[in-house]
Amino acid sequence: MSLADLGRGCPDLLVGYGGISVLLEVKGEKGKLNPMQEAWHNRWTGEPVVIVRTIQDVEKLIVNMTTLIQAFGKGIAENQEIHD
């Protein structure tokens, strides 16, 4: 899902795969975060934003997400019990 319309330094994409959600920042080979992006990343308290620069970066991300799903099952959050 594209988050581009949110602006204000928000990452470019939200990707959901097998119960895992990842925020992605898409940059060119030498692209850098602008000041608003840096501020947003510093304020974010969830999982770190993944910066992808090449299709190989995306392929590595998919492999890593697949490994997590295989290790913990589809819908990782469904496997976690909440205790009061």
Give per-10-residue mean pLDDT for the chain (84 aa): 88 89 93 95 92 94 87 61 48
Q: What pLDDT is recorded for position 84?
A: 47
Q: Nearest 5°: phi and psi at 43?
A: -80, -25
Q: Domain range for residue 38?
A: 4-79
- Contact residues for 77 (Cβ-Cβ < 8 A; gap 6+): 19
Q: In the chain, how many domains are there?
A: 1
Is 56 within a domain?
Answer: yes
What per-residue confidence (pLDDT) applies to 79? 52
- CATH at 25: 3.40.1350.10
Beta-carbon-side half-sphere exposure of residue 46 (alpha carbons within 13 Å)? 10
Q: Which two tokens stand for residue 62?
A: 């998919």
Residue 84 inside a domain? The answer is: no
Give pLDDT, residue 77. 52
Alpha helices (H) along 1-84: 35-43, 55-72
- Give the model's pLDDT for residue 9: 93
Query: What is the reported pLDDT for 53?
Result: 95
Residue 76's pLDDT is 55
**Phi (first) and psi of residue 21, to 5 degrees:** -115, 135
